[in-house]
Chain A
């Protein structure tokens, strides 16, 4: 395929020119293979994409993953159930708290542990807060990918507040280890709840700023609308989840469609792209779904705080070193013999699932992690062929991968 291709736009059915380029076999040009990454500002970590280009047009690309592989699944097989919890933080390190929730639920289902009512609410609050914090970051970084620096710093200003909230609650600003099997590390204080409500007000107010600088900005719309269109069928075929699949017009959210937790008690909706703006499945819609989910998560967090049941004296830990959990959880967790669970949950980036096989020991026999970013990044080549290098950056940013989860 060397030597004879140049690229051009296609005349579409309605007479307009297409947004994408295709090779046309009528003139000579040379192709070039460019390595994007692992050290590249726009690959969100240590992703390496080999891009075959013709001038600036991406003819083909291939994401080369594995630079951040840390043998998470093997580690899980060598640690007790509770000990693996902090390792799950490092999967999707931008929404660490949501990873913990899925793992905790998986172990609880395996061992048949019930969760007290107040802890269910606490988990919902911190998970919603984690989603807010993660989506703020995604929106800001997407602005950075498109070339707008200021929204990133605005978003980071609020994310720092979220980090401080988590620090107050868990002691960590990024990697929390807050969940325990059967509960959480400690109870929410009234002061923390006040801080959280204040933070939600600030985010709700400032999200208008983010939207003005990114979502509704003319240049931003020009750059992202109609770019990297991920069709319904392709999204299903590749197992895309999270905001990306909702942007492709598929109404799917694990929290609602495979219910867990107490999300059915709140008034919230799943934002789905119906093609009101741009094309269904383009970069702009993926960004817009995130911006809408930010609002929904704020609503869930507020409602959960509103309905938070009072503290049950039975749950009071015996000492400050003990977690705030269901008191019936045994000191040594053992899974049942020859049992397996597959538990999935909705993370900010999609569906995270843990498949745990137990052979009756205090460690899992096998722990398979299904990361959303790992599945989502596979579609990159499909949707970026024929676009420019600048669009490739926009597409990578809109899929919103976290390399910690891709490589695990």
Chain B
């Protein structure tokens, strides 16, 4: 669809070529909608899941009561004097926190660089948001299916570093500065094995495009030149890149996933904001909504990069147990009631969701289990182990591709 077709669909515009400002508005409205409709729920659910899951792990209760209070005065209050509320199993906690953070002072530390300090969260947030553009959530549910998808994601994901460096530098706080230094050292280092292992599926597929990668994994599995699984069985998830060039891509996926953890600054790689060492690292001076933007970005990126991991190695929305089970029933004949909705879209959402949620829960599990690494250990893990192993993975994947995987 060209831009003219797009604008042509707006009633009354026809062949009218819009001005630059109109184009901007038309581009911004859907982007805003994506922020509100995707990232905010992801952030709230992510925080809720983290709190609840860590509470289960740690023998605590976690937030399990907070709902939505009903504020009309008069009839709502029963004899206990408490406001009535809609019970949401603690899901209201995220909203309550959001309201609290909105009410906080937008503090700029004296002596800090106000412009950099105030704009840093936006840069970080933009980086996280950018990943969503190329995140294939289901059949047709991808904002921009660019032909350099993997490349785009790696590039956009790295924007965050600039924001964190800005935050650390502009805070006029030595702990913030140390945190930002750690962040840059760590994330830049881990970009390397992350990009290398992301290349492994790309070599097999022969394309950087997300939909191509997913479509490839729906096909039969050829392992080291031998046809192992046909397309029928591949629907069950046997065609995933994880199994291709076995066991090379299992190693590649583990490395990729750990690099994702490091890039997200999740424990055990949470050195930039190491609570017990650097107070809060680059977040020390932030408060209120700007602080929560960092958090929203973190959970958004968590979701997006889990989804990318699932797409690159676990078949994305395209294949897996859900599609396998649905292949047993004549699902194509079922009328979904909405003309445009395809059954693959519905099944794809389920497929994508369970993989992503599982990977996110694994991140949470790791965070609440392991102690923090030290910066030199983080770096040696990357350069001494991950980079050579990732290089080996690329080499062997190339071999597998030549052999006709």
Stretch at the interface among A34-42, A94-102, A292-300, A310-318: A34-42
Asked if B124 lies at the interface with its beta carbon under 8 angstroms from chain A, I say no
0 or 1 for each of A1-44: is its CB under 8 Å from B? (1 = yes) = 00000000000000000000000000000001010000011100
Give the A interface residue count (CB, 8 A).
30
* Given A147-B270, A149-B368, A150-B368: A41 in contact with B59 (beta carbons within 8 A): no
Asked if A334 lies at the interface with its beta carbon under 8 angstroms from chain B, I say no
* Given A56-B375, A157-B59: A42 in contact with B178 (beta carbons within 8 A): no
- Give the contacting residue for A34; candidates B58, B174, B371; CB below 8 A: B174
- Give the contacting residue for B277; candidates A55, A219, A393; CB below 8 A: A393
0 or 1 for each of A133-173: is its CB under 8 Å from B? (1 = yes) = 00000000001111111100110010000000000000000
Asked if B289 lies at the interface with its beta carbon under 8 angstroms from chain A, I say no
0 or 1 for each of B265-291: is its CB under 8 Å from A? (1 = yes) = 001101100111111000000000000
Asked if A274 lies at the interface with its beta carbon under 8 angstroms from chain B, I say no
Stretch at the interface among A75-83, A177-185, A246-254, A383-391: A383-391
Question: What is the minimal beta-carbon distance from B174 to any residue of chain A, in angstroms?
Answer: 5
- Give the contacting residue for B370; candidates A148, A157, A390; CB below 8 A: A148
- For window 166-224 of A, CB contacts with B under 8 Å fall at 213-214, 217, 219-220, 222-223
Asked if B373 lies at the interface with its beta carbon under 8 angstroms from chain A, I say yes
A147 CA to B254 CA, complexed, in Å: 23
Asked if B118 lies at the interface with its beta carbon under 8 angstroms from chain A, I say no
Pair B274/A390 contact, Cβ less than 8 Å: yes
A217 CA to B271 CA, complexed, in Å: 18
- For window 373-391 of A, CB contacts with B under 8 Å fall at 388-391
0 or 1 for each of A33-71: is its CB under 8 Å from B? (1 = yes) = 010000011100000000000011000000000000000
Pair A41/B178 contact, Cβ less than 8 Å: no
Pair A213/B59 contact, Cβ less than 8 Å: no
Q: How many A-B residue pairs have CB under 8 A?
A: 82
Asked if B100 lies at the interface with its beta carbon under 8 angstroms from chain A, I say no
Pair B372/A223 contact, Cβ less than 8 Å: yes
- For window 52-69 of B, CB contacts with A under 8 Å fall at 54, 57-60
Chain B residues whose CB sits within 8 angstroms of the CB of A34 once the complex forms: 174-175, 178
Pair A388/B279 contact, Cβ less than 8 Å: no
Pair A391/B374 contact, Cβ less than 8 Å: yes
Taking CB as reference atom, which chain B residue is nearest A37?
A: B279
Pair B371/A388 contact, Cβ less than 8 Å: no
- Give the contacting residue for A56; candidates B57, B178, B267; CB below 8 A: B178
Identify 13 new A-B residue pairs, CB closer than 8 A, beyond the known A223-B372, A390-B271: A41-B275, A41-B276, A42-B276, A56-B375, A147-B267, A147-B275, A149-B54, A150-B369, A153-B58, A154-B58, A222-B374, A388-B374, A390-B375
Question: Mind listing 13 A-B residue pairs with CB under 8 Å?
Answer: A34-B174, A41-B275, A56-B178, A56-B182, A143-B371, A147-B275, A154-B58, A222-B374, A222-B377, A223-B374, A390-B271, A390-B372, A393-B276
